[in-house]
Amino acid sequence: MPTETTKSIFLQGARDAAPFVLVVGPFALLFGVVAAEAGLNVVEALTFSVAVIAGAAQFTALQLMVDDVPTVVVLVSALAVNLRMAMYSASLTPYLGEASLRQRALAAYFIVDQSYGCSVLKYEQNPHWTIGQKLAYFWGTVAPVCPFWYVFTVVGAMLGNSIPEGLALDFALPITFLAIIMPMLRTPAHVAAALVSVIAALVFAFLPYNLGLLVAGILGMVTGAEVERRSAARAGDA
């Protein structure tokens, strides 16, 4: 196997994440437009994206703010929608836990669906990578995604109401999640967790402030853990 340099691994990450620009761009553009419609100026919309850097949570918080919901509820709801980031962080800890505190703190900020999805798959395929190589790949996945999130937020905020409603930019969110999640459903536990969380999200959609997503996430995690436990027990008995 030829020696892989950190530069080549960084470029691998950038190539793997590059296709997501096709959906991140429209999604960020849509957020900028919605933010402008809600009364935010360009600087405020960009600050929102830089501070939160989580599309679903940003849309949730923005809508609740427009509806004059109490600040505490806005924060809790946004955190609930973004709970998956805590799970992403825990999942990456075995791979990036040896990095310095500064490196881990910076990586934690840039954990998004795309950087996580690409990285965790590549780490499993390359257990021989050093911590430097793992970080290089992670930053490679960040490079084509996060800057575009900021840039297209600004473009959307500048365009404001000029984008026709029929353009339907909101297609970007479900496509992004499908592209990330489907390759990761590799075990019965993964499939069971995904299935239960989808059903639960639909069943509990009536709950206010998007709390149904929090319930769905918890039920999905519990289901996945139980299926994995039973599978391990059966393997041990065999």
> What Rg, from alpha-carbon coordinates, does the chain have?
19
For the chain, what is the largest distance between any 2 Cα atoms, rounded to a whole number of angstroms?
A: 64
Amino acid 151: pLDDT: 93
Domain parsing of the chain, residue ranges? 8-184, 186-238
Instruction: For residue 27, give both structure tokens.
Output: 């999604």
Residues 81-117: tens digit of each pLDDT: 777 788 888 889 999 999 999 999 999 999 998 899 8
Confidence of residue 35 (pLDDT cuts 50, 70, 90): confident
Residue-level pLDDT at 1: 44
The secondary structure of 35-59 as a DSSP string is HHHTT--HHHHHHHHHHH--HHHHH
> What's the residue count for the chain?
238
The whole-chain average pLDDT of the chain stands at 83
Q: Is 90 exceeded by the pLDDT of residue 28?
A: no
Average pLDDT over residues 67-88: 78
Most confident of 128-132, 191-195, 204-208: 128-132
Q: In percent, how much of the chain has pLDDT > 90? A: 35
Distances from the Cα of 213 to the Cα of 71, 90, 169, 178, angstroms? 19, 19, 22, 17
pLDDT in tens, 155-184: 989 987 666 665 555 555 555 556 556 666
Site of tokens 């955190």: 79
Burial of 161 (0-12, 13-18, 19+ CB in 10 A): exposed
Distance of CA 236 to the CA centre of its chain: 35
The pLDDT of residue 38: 79
Mean pLDDT is highest, among 2-16, 45-59, 92-106, 151-165, for 92-106
- Residue 197 banded pLDDT, cuts 50, 70, 90: confident
Greater confidence (20 vs 84) lies with 20
Residues 6+ apart with CB under 8 A from 169: 26, 27, 29, 30, 33, 163
> How far apart (Å, rounded) are the C-alpha atoms in residues 221 and 196?
9
Most confident of 38-42, 76-80, 211-215: 38-42
> Would you say 40 and 48 are in contact if contact means Cβ atoms under 8 Å apart?
yes
Angle value at C-alpha 217, between 134 and 168, nearest 5 degrees: 85
